[in-house]
A and B are shown apart, each in its own frame.
Chain A
Amino acid sequence: MQEELITSGRNIPNIDPFLDIWHWPISVYLFLGGLAAGLLFFAALITILKKDKEYPAAVKFASIVSPIALTLGLLALFYDLTHKIYFWRLYTTVRIESPMSWGAWVLLIITPVSFLWVLSYYSELFPKFKLNFKFLKKFESFLQKNRLLMAYILLPLSVVLGVYTGILLSAFNARPLWNNAILGPLFLISGLSTGAATIILLSKSTKERHLFSKIDLGLVILELGLIVHMMMGMYAGSQVQLEAMQLLIGGEFTMMFFGFVVILGLIVPAILEFLELRGFKIPVAVPALLILLGGLIFRFVMVEAGQITRYLY
């Protein structure tokens, strides 16, 4: 028999018997960050492709969600800090090697831009509430003129943001479940997929819905591929990675992962989207909501399960 124990009796809150340092706000933060990244990406892309008139939800209606998501995400992150009064320390230094640092900086830039983006559509979005001040009106028209420029800024930033939500976890060598190169692309794709789902939800035009259903279908297939790829990689990996994978495949997170993320959050909505594209009468809100929910749960699973996996003990 092999026995391993801490004889000096450790029971540190949130550390023992397993890490629980990052709680729900981090999962929510990662989800909202991914969602905003997806939305801003599509808004920017469609603007750059000059298709903004054809896809109003993508560039206009859905993009209201991004500044809200980013703000809430930042609040969630802030909420989970334990030494909050030093929050400002994040912005006294740039630490290239720390995903947390460049994430903070990216957010610092992308959040105001996302606000400006919405502001540029203000009159169209809120026709009832006229801007009363002259300078604001001026500002809005200034923004409208520079929308393409903003799109060029947002496109790379949103990709960075999307990848960042994954890298934040995968940079941690110490947590075998997180430590793989797939997590960055996987989170980016998942973020794009939730973005597409939101656009589908908010879109009133069939054409737009169908386009994003197609995009989403592609993304979901890609995502499933990446998940399989990640698992294969882990299986081929070290003992600790193998054990980490066990948590998802034959452990306490199996139900959450396979039931809610893979089946209900990816496969079922993919089938529904496929059928809907084939002309079956299916309310589009159903797959879209499933995608969003799946994306959220996916982040919960990865954050919680990842913290349980470790090298020692």
Chain B
Amino acid sequence: MTTSRRKFIKISALGLGGVAATTSAINMFGSNSYLNTLVKENVGEKFKITPTYCEVCFWKCAAWAYTNEDGEIKKIIGNEDDPHCHGRLCPRGTGGVGMYTDEDRLKTPLIRTTVNGEETFREASWDEALDLIASKFNGIKEKHGAESLALLKHGCPGWHFEHLYKSLGSDTIAEPAYAQCRGPRETGFALTFGSWVGSPEPTDIRDTKCLVLIGSHIGENMHNSQVQEMSDAIDNGATIITVDPRFSTAASKSKHWLAIKPSTDIALLLSWMHVLIKEELYDKEYVEKYGLGFNELKEYVRQFTPEWAYGITTIKPEEIRKTARAMGHAAPAAIVHPGRHVVWYGDDTQRERAIAILNGLLGSWGRRGGFYFKEKINVPNFPHPAYPEPKWGWKEIGENFPLAQMGITNELINASIPNKNNKYPIKAWMVAGTNLIKSIPDTIQLKKAMDALDFLVVIDTMPTDITGYADVILPECTYLERSDIVRSATNRQPSIAVRFAAVTPKYNSKPGAWIAKEIGERLGLSKYYNYKDFDEVIDWQLKELGTSKEEMAKIGVKRYPRKSGPMYLNEDETHQFGTASGKIEFYSQELKDLGFDPMPTYTAHPEPPQGFYRLNYGRSPMHTFSRTANNPNLNALKSENNLWVNPKVARILGLKTNQKVWLKNQDDIISNFSIKVRVTERIRWDSVYMVHGFGHDNKKLTRAYGKGIDDTKMISKIFVDPIMGGTGMRGNFVSILTENPHKNTEI
């Protein structure tokens, strides 16, 4: 790349900072010991409690924020009535206080400027920053159309800016939680059962007799109620089967751990189908009643014997049979979990199809201990005029992927790179609540796109990697400091939860709702913001939902009775599935018509060449992606990621635990920072493993900067799912460098 116009600003922005370091001053003086003891034991403290729901990940557990007499948030405790958490937050939710107390937070709007030939940020007033955004957006809209303004978002702030964008006439919207996350399973399950899996997954884990986890590492993946229910399942003596090339925490709790060779899961799934059908362990009645294309499937999987799969997966035929029988005997109270982050090798929709089909054979969809029929209550939209109709949007941009159900981030990124043949040129981005540098693979393409943009606004709470590329940075206050949209949960029983501001925003930060409205009004969209402030919207919505702010302040979560019918299939009636045929489609005519395999096929994927190891990554239970690395409470638990290396590999390469190494991938991309080795039997000899979300590049993150390696940077090769556009990320290989490759270069 030639000199970048929009250079990443690493070093301190001018004037940013100053405001910090006031909070801890009190602790400097020794304090009265008697009082001290009282405080230490929290006896003397009187708390105000405010309902909220957690924003540290997307499970959105409802909670209570405890504020002391000094107006400091001291702790956050789960709401007992909430089906997402049952009164127990996960470590990240409990440590959510740190999101609020983190003194490295963004404190005031910042505008990119050039001082003495050096690009830097200067502090700006909200008015100045918002005016600038409005004038840039207006200019681009006039010249290229509102469609050329793209929104990349995630989490709650996304909702407010989505409304802004739609009001403006742009549907050019995407989030990493689709093409980098759940996309393939939503398409795969929709093709089979005619229904998304959705979040939270409607898996009836607490009542299951057999839970099959395919690379779904619950326990490290701390999606709260799933973790809780898996624990219930252990208490109930359920059989847990984990398929994972790494000895995950879940694997350690399992009766069967199938240490599969990476990328070969489809072979195992096909072979399981083979055994279930051959040994007639499948739910005949269910399949007969609801299945479509069973005979084709039966015929098709006849060839996939466990012996065949053994050669591919390295899992012994006996183990395959044993586990298939365990599922068959437990059925229909069996769950083959769809997983969540499922963009692995590019054939992911087909793998998810295989998982869905397997569940179909087990008769688990709509059965107790399998998948329940979820339900939610609709939160009415505050009345506003109809949105203008955009000429094109995420759908058109992703038109090469016929079964994409949401915007594909990578396609929006590609459309932002100037190209004569591009029918849908994107000129500016607004990025809200997503750290694209760490969440989108193929960073080179991403940077090329950002370089070409006319304008880039980032709305975040922290100075993360992506903020370094912004023209304007807007500091949103944390979830604990704002009232926000009413959460409506899809669950066994519908419920809503509220988020009220527990304290006023620290520094000069503002709620996303306020920011969106201010920009909207400056863009002449006042008619879409026909209210004084967002509290008025919440007030109105709660009344519509038959409750009130006062009531919700006391209960935080309100449950509603089910209206859609029973949670499980009514065996006396015939259920209509949401597929075109109304049946569970073992054979997919839709895929066939689009030129794809109607039933999943196994294809071999590349393997690491000599001297390289497959880059495997996952979650640490105490962190969420890159957003918590600097959180003081959570950073204290885990301040950097480690590189898991099998002892055999360590012996060959002469590596020791805690030794610092660097990585270089198959495309000669070198990690910015070093990572400490952890020699452990929990990983295979052909792979290395690390937790995603570390290796932060922004010096403003005083705790996280330079700690560990960013896996995303090493994922330069992506395997795009031709069906829905997901970016398979598990086919990257790295070699381990023991010498600092940056010795002579400054980074």
Contact = CB atoms under 8 A, between A and B. Distances in A.
A and B touch in the complex (CB under 8 A): yes
Contacts of A132: none
Interface string B628-659: 00000000111100000001000000000000
A97 interface: no
A3 B647 CA distance: 11
Nearest to B639: A9
Interface in A1-43: 1, 3, 8-9
Interface in B586-643: 622, 636-639
B681 A3 contact: yes
A9 B636 contact: yes
A277 to B, nearest CB: 53
A9 B635 CA distance: 9
Nearest to A5: B678
A9 B647 contact: no
**Interface size bracket, B side:** under 10
Chain A: interface residue count, which band? under 10
Contacts of A8: 622, 637-638
B666 to A, nearest CB: 29
B331 to A, nearest CB: 36
B493 interface: no
B680 interface: yes
A277 B340 CA distance: 85
A9 B622 CA distance: 11
Interface in B323-379: none
A3 B636 CA distance: 22
A3 B683 CA distance: 13
- Main secondary structure, interface of A, reads loop
A1 B681 contact: yes
Contacts of B680: 1, 3
Interface in B681-711: 681
B301 to A, nearest CB: 39
Contacts of B681: 1, 3
B64 to A, nearest CB: 24
Contacts of B622: 8
Contacts of A3: 679-681
Contacts of A9: 636-639
A7 to B, nearest CB: 8
Nearest to B249: A7
A294 B622 CA distance: 49
Nearest to A3: B680
A9 B639 CA distance: 8
A8 B620 CA distance: 11
A39 to B, nearest CB: 39
A9 B708 CA distance: 15
A164 to B, nearest CB: 30
A52 B106 CA distance: 79
A287 B681 CA distance: 55
A1 B681 CA distance: 7
Contacts of B647: 1
Nearest to A8: B637
A8 B681 CA distance: 19
Interface in A96-145: none
B694 to A, nearest CB: 13
Nearest to B640: A9
A17 B151 CA distance: 47
B639 to A, nearest CB: 7
Contacts of A1: 647, 679-681
A227 B637 CA distance: 42
A55 B596 CA distance: 107
B563 to A, nearest CB: 44
Nearest to B621: A7
A8 B95 CA distance: 13
Nearest to B646: A1
A1 B679 CA distance: 9
Contacts of B636: 9
5 contacts: A1-B679, A1-B680, A8-B622, A9-B637, A9-B639
Interface of A: 1, 3, 8-9
Interface of B: 622, 636-639, 647, 679-681
Given A1-B679, A3-B681, A8-B637, 11 more contacts: A1-B647, A1-B680, A1-B681, A3-B679, A3-B680, A8-B622, A8-B638, A9-B636, A9-B637, A9-B638, A9-B639
* 7 smallest beta-carbon distances between A and B, as pairs: A9-B637, A8-B637, A1-B647, A9-B638, A1-B681, A3-B680, A9-B639
